[in-house]
Amino acid sequence: MTNSISAPFTSDRLLLFGATGDLSRRMLLPSLCALDAEGLLDPKIEIVGTARSDHDDAEFRNFARESLEQFLPAERRGGMARFLNRLSYQTLDANQMEGFNALAAKVGEPKDGLSIFLSTAPSLFEPTIRGLQASGLAGDNVRIGLEKPLGVDLASSKVINDAVARAFPEDRIFRIDHYLGKETVQNLLALRFANLMFEPLWNAAHIDHVQITVAETVGLESRVAYYDDSGALRDMVQNHMLQLLALVAMEPPVSYDATSVRDEKVKILRSLRKVSTNETVTGQYRAGAIGGQAVPGYDDELGRDSNTETFVAIKAHIDNWRWQGVPFYLRTGKRLPKRTTEIVVQFRDVPHSIFHGRGARTVPNRLVIGIQPSENITLSLMAKVPGLDRNGFGLRSIPLDIAMPDAFAGPQRRIAYERLLLDLIEGEQTLFVRRDEVEAQWEWIDAIRAEWEGQAQEPRTYTAGSWGPSAAIALAERDGVTWHE
Ligand code: BG6
């Protein structure tokens, strides 16, 4: 992909669209305050919030203070007063062009550069970009971060990407997938490419299959309209799960930089085989219980019937040399029994067991990479059961377990957005998604949805607190695979 390369700069202004929204309250303001508390936010940086709701600076600072008190642990709030002093606010209706001049006046002239963080409804992307351009807020020293949803399919994402591209070159566009900001996701690269022992085995000759699970216990939360239009496939698979898959499956990049890493990820995304109907299962939760607590069904939460899937399981294939014949089983859902994100790499069995004649069975090695909430790397290994072997040779699979919080007790655990906001401010693109990646992701997802529509496939029901419809278990079991739980 060809880019014009802009000169590097660190921003001294940050402009947050959607500043009074849920993401800002839970993630963005807490992340910025935490960075500030540690001296990681340049003292020059001023932060302007904007949204449609009417507030003055003082009211916005109050809103921010309440958000910090609710979502940032007290020990990370040192210097909160200084942080709040950086904040100001400008009301803006993005559909009214004239409002952008007042916004530009509020932002003022940055000394070094401006970073914009856009977290708004997809319908506001185009008018917002036009407004930024018209008011001089899209100059050479401006970069823009874009939060999902960037469209609902390939066509609508192209419209958004084209609109943004008219104002900003690709090297100043930062598409956010917050999973890439997670330390344990970045650790996948370290595990694969800073160790010698995995890479020679990381292929179809030695790996039987891969499982990627992103399970959540939450339901609709307060996002009724968004979620019902989206569903699990677009909300979680199109972005987060495909990024995880790409990091697990990609070839070694030449170096850890934005172009090399993203070049390799996009090759994987383009190698995904079109999924056939019997390789996906969708579900929607019904009333049940999680952790002993009764929870309502999706239709009860929504207040009406709906065909939106809250669970999806997919058997994916990567058509390239390395992964021929290795299925990648993906599953994600709301109201599952526990919150867990993990990647399971199931190796093949030894080619010949010398212990067979002694009555011992080998169990193939398995690598489990826990992304959240437990940050663990567990490698199951075969070991001899201590004893005199009078009744045959005893073998058992035992775990070699690394708990990341124990291995790294010192470093601060961070919100993913801390890393991403800092990288946006400093112009480091490696952990952001390039346009060709997003489009390859949508292309694969659109084909799945077209297949569902063609077959008039409706989600099966599952009880909240279970692991999804039984058909999802069957999807793996008919290949002799059991989901890791
Ligand atoms: C968001 C989805 O992108 O990711 C949500 O829109 C989901 O539906 C969330 O709950 C999960 O993020 P995390 O970081 O809690 O795994």
Pocket test for ligand 1, best of 176, 213, 224, 240 (most atoms within 8 A of CB): 240
Listed in order, strand segments (DSSP E) in 339-431 are 340-347, 366-372, 376-384, 395-403
Range of the domain at 252: 180-414+434-477
| Domains of the chain: total | 2
Where does a domain end: 131, 148, 176? 176
Q: Report the CATH number at residue 350.
A: 3.30.360.10
> Could you tell me if 92 and 48 lie in one domain?
yes
Is 216 annotated to bind ligand? yes
> Could you tell me if 62 and 188 lie in one domain?
no
> Could you tell me if 157 and 229 lie in one domain?
no
Distance from C-alpha of 69 to C-alpha of 457, rounded to nearest angstrom: 45
Where does a domain end: 157, 176, 195? 176
Pocket test for ligand 1, best of 148, 175, 178 (most atoms within 8 A of CB): 178
Q: Report the CATH number at residue 116.
A: 3.40.50.720
178 Cα: distance to centroid of ligand 1 (angstroms) = 8
Residue 354: C-alpha distances to residues 361, 362, 390, 391, 397 (Å): 10, 10, 17, 16, 16
Residue 426 lies in a domain: no
Going by C-beta distance under 8 Å and a sequence separation of 6 or more, which residues neighbour residue 273? 316, 317, 318, 319
Neighbour tally for 35: CB within 10 Å = 23
Of 209, 240, 317, 352, the catalytic one is: 240
Among residues 456, 480, 462, the alpha carbon closest in space to that of 313 is found at 462
Is 265 annotated to bind ligand? no
> Could you tell me if 22 and 137 lie in one domain?
yes
Residue 157 lies in a domain: yes
Residue 273: C-alpha distances to residues 315, 434, 443 (Å): 10, 21, 11
Atom of ligand 1 nearest to the CA of 227: 8
> Could you tell me if 206 and 333 lie in one domain?
yes
Q: Give residue 72's pLDDT.
A: 96
Q: Give the strand pairing for 340-347 and 173-175.
A: unpaired
Say if residue 405 is preceded by a cis peptide, omega within 30 of 0.
Answer: no
- Give the SS3 label for residue 223: coil
> Could you tell me if 28 and 85 lie in one domain?
yes
Atom of ligand 1 nearest to the CA of 235: 6
Cα-trace Rg, the chain: 24
Measured from CB, residues less than 6 Å from any atom of ligand 1 are 216, 235
Residue 334: C-alpha distances to residues 231, 278, 477 (Å): 10, 22, 22
Is residue 240 part of the annotated active site? The answer reads yes
67 membership: H or E segment, kind and range: helix 57-71
Residue 6 lies in a domain: no
Tens-digit pLDDT string for the chain (485 aa) = 334 456 678 889 999 999 999 999 999 999 999 999 999 999 999 999 999 999 999 999 999 999 999 999 999 998 899 999 999 999 999 999 999 999 999 999 888 999 999 998 888 999 999 999 999 999 999 999 999 988 999 999 999 999 999 999 999 999 999 999 999 999 999 999 999 999 999 999 999 999 999 999 999 888 888 899 999 999 999 999 999 999 999 999 999 999 999 999 999 999 999 999 899 999 999 999 999 999 999 999 999 999 999 999 999 999 999 999 999 999 999 999 999 999 999 999 999 999 989 989 999 999 999 999 989 999 999 999 999 999 899 999 999 999 998 889 888 889 999 999 999 999 999 999 999 999 999 999 999 999 999 998 899 999 999 999 999 999 999 999 999 98
442 Cα: distance to centroid of ligand 1 (angstroms) = 18
> Could you tell me if 161 and 230 lie in one domain?
no
423 membership: H or E segment, kind and range: helix 416-426
Nearest CA to ligand 1 atom 4: 236
Distance from C-alpha of 225 to C-alpha of 24, rounded to nearest angstrom: 19
Q: Give residue 1's pLDDT.
A: 38
Where does a domain end: 116, 150, 176? 176
Residue 365 lies in a domain: yes
- Give the SS3 label for residue 455: coil
215 Cα: distance to centroid of ligand 1 (angstroms) = 10
Distance from C-alpha of 37 to C-alpha of 32, rounded to nearest angstrom: 9
Q: Give residue 3's pLDDT.
A: 43
CB-based burial, 256-279: b 16+ in 10 Å, e otherwise? eebbebbbbbbbbbbbbeebeeeb
> Could you tell me if 157 and 284 lie in one domain?
no
Q: Give residue 7's pLDDT.
A: 62
Atom of ligand 1 nearest to the CA of 372: 16
Instruction: Look up residue 273 and give its two tokens.
Output: 């085989």
